[in-house]
Amino acid sequence: MPTPHDLLPDTLPTLPKRPLAAHKGSFGHVYVLGGGPEMGGALSLAALAAYRAGAGLVTGIGHPDARAYLAALLPEATWMDWPPRFANRLSGHAVLALGPGLGQGLAAHDLVREAATLPQRQIWDADALNILARFGPGILLGQAERIFTPHPGEAARLLHSDTSAIQADRVASIAQLVARYGGVWVLKGEGTLVGDGKFLGRCPWGNPGMATGGSGDVLTGLIAGLWAQGLTAIEAASLGVCIHARAGDLAAAELGEASLLARDLITQIPKILQNWRQH
């Protein structure tokens, strides 16, 4: 793994200008698989972040009990109850974000194992990562491009290690994750790292106020929304991490770190997207 370099605005990609003849299908379709019983908020935050990032269509896939959360927060989104199978349910160019509020019950295990066989682009987060840690890389049967977004505790479970060891050498840890599972990895925390074995970037922004429930769900949806619009996996992960961190810094400056909520990050996304090169 190379030495990490700081991810700065001048080195990061930008989204292409939208053509005048564009339609909602021009900007990708994000599906968020999560929303187990009593955890519909996580799915809803990820879906809202995907829309704010610019995705043309967003669909939540969750337990029926979670539908009300999405309807209340994001009436623009569509909904699917957890399907018995995914076959022929997702568009070919979709981005599937797995994990926000998914839970770790039997249904969640079955859904993740099937999703791992699909060809669509995938972002793995939260409980999807915990289920992956339980089964190991052998379930990743499909040829899909994948982005994984663990915090140090999830990374430790994925490597059968402990959090202190992950934090003691974060560069070595992300290298081990790439070697074991493939794909693009986002190792969250202070100085979030983004790497794929050849590229390694470090986010220089962010603050402790972002250590609040739902912040990771916002990041998952944000990356998914950017990826759906045509960026590569490493570009979407790098840009998403930095927009997320900048959003946290702007929100903390207005509200204070102690009062920051995950939804406050989403509020800042449009401003950052409009003025990114000025940061």
Which superfamily is assigned to 23-278 in CATH?
A: Ribokinase (3.40.1190.20)
Residue 17: per-residue pLDDT: 86
Q: Which two tokens stand for residue 48?
A: 């809202």
Residue 277: per-residue pLDDT: 53
C-beta separation of 45 from 221 below 8 A: yes
pLDDT < 70: residue spans in the chain: 1, 277-279
Can you name the residues that pair with 123 across neighbouring β-strands?
A: 97, 147
The model carries a pTM of 0.97
Residue 10: per-residue pLDDT: 85
Domain boundaries, the chain: 23-278
